[in-house]
């Protein structure tokens, strides 16, 4: 109104320099990155509509010991269990909730000591599973709740080794389950990743390219922090029917 004394139709634009009115807190198995003050356990402002996975990755990402299948969000005294493996590995956005002011996020540590394997794709309970001495492919599929009705189990893959140059092993679970072909029951190693597809994989190199963000997030979380921080961006890593986000 004051400017109308000098300008006929003044237009004023207000730019936000800092978002400080709304914040959420994170603690537990979240990484602190040297030289970056916005990572690690602590309270951070919510800059607009922020989803859980975006908030975690922006502020350090999970440590190697984090159990992403049992993330806890505390909101107004109520506690909610969230399985982020369902978002990462099956594109289930219902688990990647939008945060509210005052939310507290707890990334728990995997409690059982020993080795671990990751299972995703068309299983009922994707996530990380621990074992002491040894575990077979069929055992870990059972731990993951078994196969879904959409599973193309004859093209199951086991990804092993350095995520930049992984070894890919194939297993036909139909031959194993229905025909008793024990050669298909691969003995798993620490940090193996098991993937049960929805469609035939075909080109293994193309398959590895599509799941590269998942491999890095699981094994080296900080390497892909910026891959998940765009507002309203859907994460669809269902290799058969979904579309990986544009890079």
What span, in angstroms and rounded, lies between the C-alpha atoms of 170 and 53? Answer: 30
Q: Which residue has the higher pLDDT, 185 or 213?
A: 185
Band (37; pLDDT cuts 50, 70, 90):
low
**Nearest of 237, 228, 206, 26 to residue 122 by alpha carbon:** 237
Q: What is the mean pLDDT of the chain?
A: 80
pLDDT confidence of residue 246? 42
pLDDT confidence of residue 235? 41
What span, in angstroms and rounded, lies between the C-alpha atoms of 225 and 196? Answer: 25
Q: Where are the alpha helices (DSSP H) in 73-203?
A: 84-90, 137-143, 173-179
Q: pTM to 2 decimals?
A: 0.53
What span, in angstroms and rounded, lies between the C-alpha atoms of 20 and 38? Answer: 14
Q: Mean of the pLDDT values across residues 49-76?
A: 88
| pLDDT at 28 > cutoff 60 | yes
Percentage of residues of the chain with pLDDT beyond 70: 80
| pLDDT, tens digit (0-9, with 9 covering 90-100), for 115-165 | 888 888 889 888 888 887 788 999 999 989 999 898 988 989 998 877 667
Buried b (16+ CB within 10 A) or exposed e, 67-91: bbbbbebebeeeeeebbbbbbbbbb
| pLDDT, tens digit (0-9, with 9 covering 90-100), for 152-200 | 889 899 988 776 677 889 999 888 888 888 899 999 988 888 999 888 8
Band (234; pLDDT cuts 50, 70, 90):
very low
| pLDDT at 36 > cutoff 70 | no
What span, in angstroms and rounded, lies between the C-alpha atoms of 55 and 53? Answer: 5
């Amino acid at each position: 109104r004051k400017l109308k004394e000098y300008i006929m139709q003044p237009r004023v634009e207000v730019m936000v320099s800092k978002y400080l009115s709304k914040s959420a807190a994170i603690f537990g198995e979240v990484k602190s990155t040297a030289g970056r003050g916005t990572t690690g356990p602590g309270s951070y402002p919510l800059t607009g509509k922020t989803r859980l996975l975006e908030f975690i990755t922006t502020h350090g990402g999970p440590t190697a010991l984090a159990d992403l299948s049992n993330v806890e969000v505390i909101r107004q005294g109520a506690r909610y269990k969230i399985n982020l493996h369902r978002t990462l590995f099956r594109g289930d956005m219902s688990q990647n909730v939008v945060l509210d002011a005052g939310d507290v996020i707890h990334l728990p540590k995997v409690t059982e000591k020993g080795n671990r394997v990751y299972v995703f794709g068309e299983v009922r309970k994707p996530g990380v599973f621990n074992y002491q001495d040894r575990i077979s492919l069929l055992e870990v599929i059972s731990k993951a709740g078994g196969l879904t009705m959409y599973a193309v189990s004859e093209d199951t893959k086991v990804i092993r080794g350095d995520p930049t140059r992984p070894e890919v092993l194939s297993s036909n679970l139909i031959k194993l389950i229905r025909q008793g072909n024990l050669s298909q029951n691969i003995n798993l190693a620490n940090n193996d990743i098991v993937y049960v597809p929805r469609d035939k994989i075909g080109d293994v190199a193309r398959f590895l390219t599509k799941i590269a963000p998942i491999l890095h997030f699981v094994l080296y979380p900080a390497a892909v922090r910026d891959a998940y921080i765009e507002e309203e961006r859907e994460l669809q890593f269902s290799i058969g029917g979904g579309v990986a986000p544009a890079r």
